[in-house]
Amino acid sequence: MLDALTSGIAGLVVLVLLIAIRVPIAYSMILVGGIGITMLNGPAMVMSQLKTLAYGQFSIYDLSVVPMFVLMGALATRAGLSQDMFRAANAWLGWLRGGTAMAAIAACAIFGAVCGSSLATASTMGKVALPELRRYNYAGSLATGTLAAGGVLGILIPPSVVLIIYAIIVEANIVTMFMAALIPGLLAVLLFLLTIAAYVALRPEAGPRGGSGSRSEFVAATVGVIPVLVIFILVIGGMYAGFYNPTPAAAVGVFLVWLFGALRRGLGLSALREALLDTAKTTGMIYLILLGAELLKIFMSRAQVPQAMAEWAVNSGLAPMTVLILLLVGLILLGCLMDSLSMILLVIPFFWPVMMEMNGGLYQGAEGAGFGMSTEDLKVWFGILALVVVELGLITPPVGMNVFVISALATDTPMRETFKGVMPFFAVEILRVAVLLAFPAITLWLPAVLRG
């Protein structure tokens, strides 16, 4: 009979194998968690947990924000907001060399702020921007690589469903996490724009200049994006200002996006029905993964796996920053196997106890103890670092979900060309991780200022 810790480690190996053979992550976690608890405590314990676990998980008030932001994104996708954003960004940037690709990045950032989903951002902006990029004869690798990379902006620029789930797992304040994500998110936009500028400087034929357009077209495009900016300011700015909490903010966002779509007659009954059905499917998937993650967490906790990881980290003699870097590298590798939400739900319950132990003064090495910050600041800083690294999984082979989404739209561009096109963006993402690691104040400054 295996001891508890060995059973937990064996369960993790089985879980990775199930994920590798493409068993859905929710079913994999439920299966491993249920069998593991049965092995350790008997079937009666599993039945006892299942009796109350689902209600206990899904009745958490903070979780009510998830379907609301998902619905806001579904409505925004169908309301024509993406076309307005790209048209305005292209009016401002399209005249530059590589400007249409830069406009796609800017539009992805703005749409991600309304949508909150990386895959939806990549898919929607791909449909809008690809025809324009083709019209100006952009290189296939640059066009598809830009859109795949631009999609990752939806995971970090507030509001972000994955960021909300992380906050719930570590019991962090959702609004504080949104505050902390803003500057790193804008830094990503800036680095992506500079990457495109450097790319077309080296290969001018890859990103020709777009048309400048008339003054009236410029004004019309700029005016057209004002409703989107108003929605963002009222939703995110309202939360930052303390006017309302995340769930009411999401409800305000849903209403404003619906109103905008209805006024421009882009959201009829059929589109509204599709948005509600998509929201139900996506939310159901997220909640099922949450249930599986909780069942797996119970098994791993009883098997003492998180505790053993934390103890190993403390006793390893490694500096806290070294341990953090190892954890982030582990997240990058896991990104080759699973999507961002699954990674956060699966990994954070193991990694967060390690971070707390390393920050708790238990490590007494030559470089001192801990990270020199409070537990609340550590939640925020580690969360943003984890989210940035998780982004990389969306453009990392062999999974690279955003790459698959864009490749399905750009059938004339081989997938290897798209992966080739995202590599410069992958490189600058690694640079961004290094900057955020070296300067935690970039992440922590805005929450501290807005909290007063």
Contacts of 250 (CB under 8 A, 6+ apart): 65, 68, 69, 72, 159, 235
Residue 38 confidence (pLDDT) above 80: yes
In this structure, are residues 380 and 176 in contact, taking their beta carbons and an 8 Å threshold? yes
Predicted TM-score (pTM) above 0.75: yes
Residue with the larger pLDDT of the pair 253 and 83: 253
DSSP code string of 220-253: HHHHHTHHHHHHHIIIIIHHHTTSS-HHHHHHHH
The pLDDT value recorded for residue 2 is 60
Residue 369 confidence (pLDDT) above 70: no
In angstroms, rounded to a whole number, what is the distance separating the alpha carbons of residues 331 and 343?
8
**C-alpha 288 chain-centroid distance:** 18
Average pLDDT value for residue range 303-316? 83
Average pLDDT value for residue range 13-25? 84
Domain boundaries, the chain: 62-282
Q: Tell me the β-bridge partners of 451.
A: none
Report helix, strand and coil shares of the chain as percent, to nearest 5: 80, 0, 20
Backbone angles phi, psi at 179, to 5 degrees: -60, -45
Q: How confident is the model at residue 358 (pLDDT cuts 50, 70, 90)?
A: confident
In this structure, are residues 5 and 305 in contact, taking their beta carbons and an 8 Å threshold? yes
CA nearest neighbour of 92 among 110, 116, 73? 110
The pLDDT value recorded for residue 122 is 83
Per-residue pLDDT of 193-247, as tens digits, reads 999 999 999 998 888 877 666 777 778 888 878 888 888 888 888 888 888 888 8
In angstroms, rounded to a whole number, what is the distance separating the alpha carbons of residues 408 and 404?
6
Per-residue pLDDT of 246-271, as tens digits, reads 889 889 989 998 988 888 776 788 88
Average pLDDT value for residue range 87-112? 87
The pLDDT value recorded for residue 427 is 93
The pLDDT value recorded for residue 211 is 67
